[in-house]
Amino acid sequence: MLRHASRWVTTFVLGFTWIQTGCAPAEPPTQETPEATSAAQPLLAGERSLLGTTALPAVAAADDSGAVELGVRFRSDAPGRIMGLRFYKGAGNTGTHTGNLWTASGSLLATVTFQSETASGWQEARFASPVTIAADTNYVVSYYAPAGHYAVTGNGFASALDAPPLHAEATTNGLYRYGTSGFPTSTFNASNYWVDVAFQPNDTTAPRAPTNVAGTPSSSTAIDLTWYASVDGSGETQGNARAHLVYRNSQLIAELPGTTVRYRDTGLTPSTAYNYTVRGRDAAGNLSADSAVVTATTLANMACNPCSLWNSVTGDPQYENADATPTEVGVKFRTDVAGTVTKVRYYKGSTDTGPHVGHLWSATGTLLATTETTPAETGFGWRELAFTTPVSLTANTTYVVSYFATGGRYAITPYYFSTAGVDMPPLHAPSTLEAPGNGVRNLNGSAFPTEAWLNTNFWVDVTFVPSEPGGPSTVDLSVQQSFPDGTGANGDVLFYDITVTNQGPATATNVVLDVPIPSGLSYFFYSANAPPVNGGHCGFFSDLQCGAPTLAPGASFTIHVQAIPFSAGTFTSQATISSSQTDFVPGNNTHALSIPVGPSTNLVTFDTFPGQDETFDGPHGPLHFGTNRWYIASPWGGFDTKSVSFNGGGLTQAGLSIFGQRRILGLDAFTWDTGATVTLSCLDLPSLTFPLTAGQVTHLVPSWTTQCTVFTVATSNGWDTNFDNLELSPRP
């Protein structure tokens, strides 16, 4: 948080350091409001809070003695009453504390004085008359700390805080105001200042528990769960609960929308029993009782020859489609190893009388083979259609298998592929998220099916004979790189992802990802997140190396890489994954990614930057913007495209760094203010001050003849000057 005459030292990975100073504005006096005082009381049964009673701040008492109002912006999914206010107190946070509840626009709704405080910990003051709040409406709760030394957790709101029914939004939350007590609007570093409410929702009746919970193994590492929805309310007002919570062995594993009544639990251990329950939660945060416990056991990890995606246990459709339209239905799939497909399998519904014929296609729709055609048939269950000659498949290549239901009425399970696929090594049917789109059909005739209708499983399968004897072994690690932008620029930061997956049925240990600097590329790794598993780590020097102690069956992790090339050309990034185990499919342990790098970006315009009318920082193009100092604005004044300014009226300067050695050739500035000036500073170079012409774009041309890597922009009128079109010297 900035204070009066605050001084900050910031060091970036490039090794450059700069110092910035700035002054926060004096705060105007605020009109006093009558207070309702009462003794502190504990959080009562049925009341909700954002932070609970056991969480602790990273810093209990900040080294800041300035008088300050601290708060948080929040909302509730359900209407109710604010019974009182709470804050966490550390040593030195003395004096009389007052709490305030505001509308989002700053209208004071109620105030209360804290009484009988303890020396530290959570303090609470309750309103004499609780304040009614509406659902899905933002409010601000704050307290005044006359002696400072407030509790704080930096980046506490880097992500949203959700404690249903209460929510606190991310990034622009954690509010403060120095000086006298008043409505807090400033933010710094997404900090959490540990201010909270005691909220009592109007609805205190829990929804009814989900019923008919069933668990079925879908592979040696996954179990499919289904249930009937939790119901909230009664009579004409009843409906599905707001959310469903899924528990495995009493541990919460998934939180799903109330309209979702199925879930695939993956990454499990073969031949292992698991207990599941499901609960409902309504908009007010009331939880239902547990459903009945259901126990399901994963399949044994066995070699297969032949192999299929489903068997008589896992292949159990939910419905039979009532539509009699002739339709080709199928599924996308791939195999870890080469082999041959001998048959098309499909589940026939009782009214799907045929005749039927099967097809095998490439991923792009080339027909590879057609099976025999069955005559009209009765009954129901799994059926097979044989190819005259077995069809060879290539490992790690997507195919589509389908059959033509001449009279429609095919078996379906809607939403089956919405969030998870099927893994029966060596066969895999990807989820809709991975494919994209799985469970495919073609209405009104036999043709290559492409429509992913409701991500439905149409229960089409293959009989596959792997070329390697013995079937799959324990570990199958794969690595995949992706470069969404498709091209880079000399001196600009690159963003790309590396995803590691264990497609095998056993846990991999001592997993190591190695990515050398591409040959011929002057380049360095700027940052990379560690794998999000216990013990995960990343480091880089000449190579990027990341590791994870274990990777469970079906599990994956993604490394988000930032790197900066300092030369142009087309280069190849080679990623390799390994573990302590012998990998059954070594062919997918490496992946090559082509990285085209063009000439340097010499004119930085902000219209291509993500976001608008919001704070931004970090690396963008050839620049790194200081944390919480910059704001990207929609077209304003003399700029008909996006431009940048300082983040907040209290800032008079902000810094940024340039990747590599570049000269600053020019910069456009605009203000409506008469007499405004802009000053540019760059380490040991002389500062340059430029007068601005009010209402016109002024082009600033620095007289520096040497290169600049870290520079500061200062204005005489704070954030009322905007900038665009930063010109840099070309990189060699």
104 Cβ neighbours under 8 A, 6+ residues apart: 73, 137, 138, 139, 140
Residue 98 has pLDDT above 90, yes or no: yes
Which residue blocks in 121-202 are alpha helix, DSSP H?
A: none
Q: Enter the tokens of residue 336.
A: 């870890």
pTM recorded for the entire structure: 0.48
Residue 361 clears pLDDT 90, i.e. is over it: yes
Query: Chain centroid to CA 641: how far?
Result: 29
The label of the residue with tokens 């011929």 reads 520
Residue 341: Cβ within 10 Å count: 24
* 581 close to 553: Cβ distance less than 8 angstroms: no
pLDDT of residue 579: 92
Measured distance CA(665)–CA(699) in Å, rounded: 10
Poorest-pLDDT segment among 205-219, 264-278, 507-521? 507-521
Report the range out of 67-71, 333-337, 506-510 with the highest average pLDDT: 67-71
* Domains of the chain, CATH where assigned: 34-201 (2.60.120), 211-297 (2.60.40.10), 319-466 (2.60.120.820), 477-598 (2.60.40.1530), 603-728 (2.60.120)
The model's pLDDT over 645-684, given as tens digits with 9 standing for 90+, comes to 998 878 889 988 888 888 999 999 999 999 999 999 988 8
pLDDT above 70: percentage of residues in the chain: 90
Read off the pLDDT band of 466 (50, 70, 90): confident
Q: Which pLDDT value is given to residue 5?
A: 29
Q: Please answer whether residues 33 and 111 qualify as being in contact, where contact means their C-beta atoms are separated by less than 8 angstroms.
A: yes
> CB of 349 within 8 A of CB of 383?
no
Q: For residue 248, is pLDDT > 50?
A: yes
**Residue 495 to residue 493: CA distance in whole angstroms:** 7
Measured CA distances, 727 to 609, 623, 643, 692, 713 (Å): 16, 12, 14, 18, 14
Cα–Cα distance for residue pair 426/403, rounded to 1 Å: 22
pLDDT at 237: 57
pLDDT at 438: 96
Rg of the chain's alpha carbons, rounded to an integer? 31
Closest to 621 (Cα-Cα) out of 494, 492, 729: 492
Handedness of CA 366, 372, 377, 383 (dihedral sign): negative
709: closest CA among 624, 638, 639? 624
Q: Which residues contact 270 (CB under 8 A, 6 or more apart)?
A: 220, 221, 298, 299, 300, 301, 505, 506, 553
For tokens 């209402």, name the residue: 695
Instruction: Bin 445: left if φ > 0, else alpha if -120 < ψ < 50, else beta.
Output: left
Reported as a single tens digit per residue, the pLDDT across 12-37 is: 222 222 323 233 333 333 333 333 33
pLDDT at 104 over 70: yes
Q: Are 464 and 393 in contact (CB under 8 A)?
A: yes
- Between 80-94, 367-381, 577-591, 681-695, the lowest mean confidence (pLDDT) is in 577-591
- In tens, the pLDDT along 432-456 reads 888 889 999 999 999 999 999 999 9
- Mean model confidence pLDDT for the chain: 87
Q: pLDDT tens-digit profile of 603-629?
A: 999 998 888 999 988 888 998 898 888
- Nearest CA to 571 out of 661, 499, 481 is that of 481
pLDDT band for position 11 (50/70/90)?
A: very low
Whether 724 shows a pLDDT value over 70: the answer reads: yes
Cβ-based burial of 169 (10 A; exposed 0-12, middle 13-18, buried ≥19): middle
Residue 692 to residues 162, 583, 670, 675, 696, Cα–Cα distance (Å): 46, 66, 7, 7, 8
- Do residues 485 and 563 make contact, with C-beta atoms less than 8 angstroms apart? no
How far apart are alpha carbons 313 and 310 in whole angstroms?
8
Least confident stretch, 408-412, 491-495, 504-508, 694-698: 504-508
Task: Say how far apart CA 306 and CA 339 lie, in whole Å.
Answer: 10
Q: What percent of the chain has pLDDT over 90?
A: 59
pLDDT, tens digit, 9 for 90 and up, residues 43-90: 788 899 999 988 899 999 999 999 999 999 999 999 999 999 999 999
3-state helix, strand, coil in the chain (%, to 5): 0, 50, 50
Distance CA 369, CA 363 (A): 13
Measured CA to CA in angstroms, residue 81 lies from 45, 71, 129, 199, 644 at distances of: 14, 18, 10, 6, 41
What is the per-residue pLDDT for 585?
60
